[in-house]
Copies of this chain bind each other. A is one copy, B any other.
């Protein structure tokens, strides 16, 4: 196998997933930009719309993103008046993250934008195919999530 240098970009899973991921990010940036929100902030908002008062590392765990990445994103979100940092009186190590009124108010419109991007990507798909596609994505995520090898 691996006959010669036959590696076609357009048939490589990793290449295609990476490209599609960038297209999603671009589309989200264009749409969320109207609200002053960048695409990397959206998953953090999704978490906080569900539950406020959690720590930075809890957000990192749920999103499978490293803690310093979350720290930087939260810093920008604080600068943009989306989140608040509150020292936990019971545990002086941790800082509890909450939403500002502005952050809460964006829930409905931003979710609508994200749904629109998702819909556009699969608008010509059968409903069953969308479900199957997501199920397969999940299997691949599980396959790559383990330790290196």
Binding site for B on A (CB under 8 A): 2, 5, 7, 9-25, 27-28, 30, 43, 46, 49, 64-65, 107-108, 111-112, 114-115, 117-118, 120-125, 129-130, 133-134, 136-141, 143-145, 148-149
Could you tell me the distance between the alpha carbons of A49 and B139 in the complex, rounded to whole angstroms?
Answer: 32
B140 touching A14, Cβ below 8 Å: no
Copies of this chain assembled into the complex? 2
Chain B contacts for A111, CB-based, 8 A: 2, 5, 7
Smallest beta-carbon distance A42→chain B, Å: 9
Question: What is the CB-to-nearest-CB distance from A76 to chain B, in angstroms, rounded to a whole number?
Answer: 18
Minimum C-beta distance from A13 to chain B (A): 5
